[in-house]
Amino acid sequence: MRVLAAMSGGVDSAVAAARMVEAGHDVTGVHLALSSNPQSFRSGARGCCTLEDSRDARRAADVLGIPFYIWDLAERFRADVVDDFVAEYAAGRTPNPCLRCNEKIKFAAVLDRALALGFDAVCTGHYARIVDGPGGRELHRAVDPEKDQSYVLGVLTAEQLAHAEFPLGNSPKSAVRDEADRRGLAVARKPDSHDICFIADGDTAGFLRGQLGEAPGEVVDTSGEVLGAHDGTYAFTIGQRKGLRLGRPAPDGKPRYVLDISPVDRRVTVGAREDLAVDEVVGVSPRWPGAALAGVVECAAQFRAHGEAAPAIAEVDGDVVRVRFEAPQEGVAPGQAVVLYDGDRVIGSATIDRTGTPAHAAAPSP
């Protein structure tokens, strides 16, 4: 099998490529240049798109003895991931750029080009498993729950999954680093990248301020009383507790949390933790790694990359997925993905459009 190994310059993708070589496949390495102006070096353990990373990827490919190329996808990455990220925050939603990168870049732009060049599959260092089920290939959680990345792969379609390889899904991270040492890969102890790769310093609010400018407004409670001011609604997410810049404490002395974000009137509403609870979400634009669902199904629903999956009932009606949780959930925000599981198997995903109770989350917004 001809395999294109996406090599970020980190230990995971290097070992994934090595395992495909060892399995006897014809492997070619490719590093994705996603920044039009990459820094020379990483900032701490953040980011994954620097000149240092591309050099580390090339050195790993040399050790493995495989051809290596750099593909410039900076313009596509800016349009499909960065601009989308900014637009979502400007609209008061909370996007996941890693999930969008998998959907639009690694398993769309890269996979499409790979297939056009005659490759059979794209290999990545994601921690997830592909299992042959009765209906074909299935996407499952990794055996290492601390590293499981099935959530951010929940946007894959069955066709994309058919051409994907995740060689690390059955290994704990410690074993992957030890293997890299044995193989003589210099990235064996390289720190993992964290947070958002295109915001190297981790200051998301500062990045958005630079993109969108200041848009001052009010922070209010659920009665509409003004409690403070802000420089832009994009600096807040549903469930946020810190950095609210309130003028005085709550009457009961308890912390306040962000309950609602309204960019139109530049208003952020805060309230008690119990006001965060929702028992239903309405999702749109569903994606199915296997057969598309229809009707009602019992499942577990996860809405954060490293969150717990909660027991739920999903009802699928065309392009609308209504998910009702057995117990109320906190911190669920429009723009996030809800990923549905049957045990360890990923059933599918949808983008959260609305949250609330069954009486209030009636239909997706236009």
Supply the angle between the helices 204-212 and 83-90 in degrees, to the nearest 10.
90
Give residues with Cβ within 8 angstroms of 321, minimum separation 6. Answer: 282, 283, 284, 286, 293, 314, 315, 338, 340, 348, 350
Catalytic residue among 48, 98, 123, 197: 197
- 278-287 and 136-141 as β-strands: parallel, antiparallel, unpaired? unpaired
Per the CB < 8 A criterion, the answer to whether 267 and 218 are in contact is yes
Clarify whether 98 is annotated catalytic.
Answer: no
Q: How far apart are CA 161 and CA 106, in angstroms?
A: 12
If you count them, how many residues does the chain have? 366
Q: Which of 48, 24, 28, 30 is nearest to 38 (CA)?
A: 48
Pull the structure tokens for residue 67.
């051809």
Residue type, 195: D
In sequence order, what DSSP letters do the residues of 281-336 get, joined into one string?
Answer: EEEEEEE-SSSPP-EEEEEEEE-STTSPPEEEEEEEETTEEEEEEEEEESS--TTS
Pull the structure tokens for residue 105.
């870049």
Catalytic residue among 48, 98, 101, 299: 101
Q: How far apart are CA 81 and CA 145, in angstroms?
A: 26
Per the CB < 8 A criterion, the answer to whether 332 and 361 are in contact is no
Give residues with Cβ within 8 angstroms of 208, minimum separation 6. Answer: 86, 89, 232, 234, 235
> Cα dist. 286→66, 85, 114, 320, 340 in Å?
37, 19, 25, 7, 10
Clarify whether 101 is annotated catalytic.
Answer: yes
> Cα dist. 283→7, 341, 344, 348 in Å?
33, 15, 21, 11
Pull the structure tokens for residue 318.
């065309």
- Which residues does the annotation mark as catalytic? 101, 197
